[in-house]
Amino acid sequence: DAGVTQSPTHLIKTRGQQVTLRCSPKSGHDTVSWYQQALGQGPQFIFQYYEEEERQRGNFPDRFSGHQFPNYSSELNVNALLLGDSALYLCASSSSAGNQPQHFGDGTRLSIL
């Protein structure tokens, strides 16, 4: 049973560029959330997708956008990259059926030069 998978594992970009990160949820999960984890910090909630729509959003600018596909996989897009966007980006999935906590992937480490 595959868990949450994310790609790529590591990415290097320069300021001003755009990036797309991908996530496949755990089998049986239909809800995907994205988090940003800066070095030495806990994950910060970016947004959550359910039924292909953004359901909740944290305190992130609209440079951060996302998408969920009919197969429940998801993408995180970040435009106009800043040095401060360097972080580990984590995807978490959960099931809308019943109250269960989220399961995380191993993340994509994004480095901005």
Partner 1 sequence: QKEVEQDPGPLSVPEGAIVSLNCTYSNSAFQYFMWYRQYSRKGPELLMYTYSSGNKEDGRFTAQVDKSSKYISLFIRDSQPSDSATYLCATDFNFNKFYFGSGTKLNVKP
Q: Which residues bind partner 1 (CB under 8 A)?
A: 4, 33, 35, 40-45, 48, 55-56, 58, 90, 92, 94, 99-107
Q: Give the number of C-alpha atoms closer than 13 A to the C-alpha of residue 99, restricted to the C-beta side.
A: 0
Q: How far is the CB of 70 from partner 1 (least distance, A)?
A: 21
Nearer to partner 1 among residue 6 and residue 19 (C-beta): 6
Question: CB pairs under 8 A, 24+ apart, for 83-87?
Answer: 83/15, 83/112, 84/112, 85/110, 85/112, 86/38, 86/110, 86/111, 86/112, 87/36, 87/37, 87/38, 87/39
Shortest reach from residue 95's CB to partner 1, in Å: 10
In terms of CB distance, is 7 or 18 closer to partner 1? 7
**Cβ closest to partner 1, residue 47 vs residue 81:** 47
Rounded to a whole number of angstroms, the minimum distance from the CB of residue 5 to partner 1 is 10
Q: Which is nearer to partner 1, 14 or 41 (CB)?
A: 41
| Residue 85 main-chain phi, psi, to 5 deg | -80, -5
